[in-house]
Amino acid sequence: MRIAIVTPYTLLNLGLKHLLQKYFEVTPSLYSDIGKLLADSPEQFDAYILFADTLVAYSDFFLPRKSKTMLLTPSRDKMPETVPASLGIYQTEEEILDTLERFIELLGKQAETLPHDLSPRETEVLKLVARGLMNKEIADRLNISINTVLSHRKNLTAKLGIKTVSGLSFYAMMNGYISDIDNK
């Protein structure tokens, strides 16, 4: 498992890296600058650890990956409900290790349940459905028949367990297939 630690604080980065390498089977990569992460194929990581201001400033990248993002915070009480994991920077070593362990277990469960076997064409159809195109428009755009579009949609429903357009749109947005900007 690869985890990107993105903070401007060298000592914090090194401390987290040490704990992750010592107690867990993960490969942490340190980034003191978000620009360096974004220039270094950021999709390669299974998880991200960062401060809330970075999440907000780069929400187009991190919000679709919020289930893979842990926020560093000085207080658990100030965490937004939209982010499932947080790590208090003032916690004891034992509390930090417990929190990291729960986060890594959660990531493992997500990896087991998320279908990663969408074909390239199913992915294209998913993106177009999520953008609100009708079956005929999708067929025209991809130069395929309406029956082929329906077949791809049937496969998407079977693989993802999602039957509605709004559900498919939400799935596409939350898993990084599209962003809010794509819909404008």
- pLDDT by residue for the chain (184 residues), tens digit each? 999 999 999 999 999 999 999 999 999 999 999 999 999 888 889 999 999 899 889 988 887 788 899 999 886 554 544 445 889 888 889 999 999 999 999 888 776 655 557 888 998 999 999 999 999 999 999 999 999 999 999 988 888 778 888 888 888 887 778 865 454 4
Q: What predicted TM-score, i.e. pTM, was given to this entire model? A: 0.61
Q: What topology is assigned to 120-183 in CATH?
A: Arc Repressor Mutant, subunit A (1.10.10)
How confident is the model at residue 59, as a pLDDT? Answer: 84
Q: What topology is assigned to 2-113 in CATH?
A: Rossmann fold (3.40.50)
Cα 131 → chain centroid: 19
Domain parsing of the chain, residue ranges: 2-113, 120-183
How confident is the model at residue 84, as a pLDDT? Answer: 59
How confident is the model at residue 139, as a pLDDT? Answer: 95
Cα 173 → chain centroid: 10
